[in-house]
Amino acid sequence: MPEQSTTGQLLGGRYRLQELVGRGAAAGVYRSFDEFLGREVAVKIFVKEAGEPELLARQEAEIRILASLIHPGLVTLFDAGTDAAMERSFVVMEYVSGPDLRQFLREEPMEAASIASIGSDLASALDYVHGRGVIHRDIKPGNVLLYKQRPSEPDSPWRAKLADFGIARVMEEEHLTGTGRTVGTAAYLSPEQALGESVGGASDVYSLGLVLLECFTRHVEFTGKPNRVRRGTPQQGRRHSRRYRSRVEGPAGCHDGEDSRGPAHCGRSCSCPAAVGREAEPA
């Protein structure tokens, strides 16, 4: 989807595409202008070639999930449709003017107050979506959009919104990916996710812990090569998983040797970061 062939076009008779701000394998995101309501929006246009049944199912699932979620820590869905002239499906969302967290950390360190602020925002958003049976499955800095709640105060802490539910799934629904296939971004996978095992909300919490750790260190804790873990027998994979989990001391793992399911699964009183984080989650 070349930028020059799309920028400036009117989508759905209403949304003027202005600037390409993000691109993935299945879609591009444009800063756009809603000519009906006179406001900036973000328009995600799915590529025309993404016609495979699995990708179409993901598109439909993302739209359904976004339409069902309303929370200040999530990017809000405004509209969805198909443009007949372009023959492409699209979703319209609120436009978040700040950088994503990946871009920010590449350029400068983050103050502790901002880390606490975005951690609270994202934990609250995950608590909300998990309570509605949705697992994001791709928590990473590139999917965290930053903004200033008080733009007139440049020293105020950054706030965060979670974006891109493209590989999210509803806990009760069947997988939209092939059996045993690992989905997500390797560097932020929980052990069970890296092994292609069933995942729950705790897997998102584990990934959030790695993201917040990276905010402090500006270093990716795990380079992540899940294909290595996937080789061998299931028994070998489980042994590897146990060894891996016992070494993890990240913000969402228990340094008493438990897995990423957190303090509810500890057999004793635990002061691990997962326990502290769970108690601190906003209501």
Q: Which residues are catalytic?
A: 138
Both tokens of 76, joined, read 């809000």
- SS3 for 117? helix
Cα(180)–Cα(255) distance, rounded to whole angstroms? 28
Both tokens of 20, joined, read 């390409």
- SS3 for 92? strand
Q: Which residues contact 249 (CB under 8 A, 6 or more apart)?
A: 255
Which amino acid, 77?
L
Check: CB of residue 116 under 8 Å from CB of residue 157. yes
CA 250 from chain center: how many Å?
A: 18
Of 28, 35, 27, which is closest to residue 11 (Cα–Cα)? 35
Both tokens of 231, joined, read 């080789």
Of 65, 43, 46, which is closest to residue 56 (Cα–Cα)? 46
What does the DSSP 8-state code read for residue 52?
A: S
Cα(75)–Cα(163) distance, rounded to whole angstroms? 6
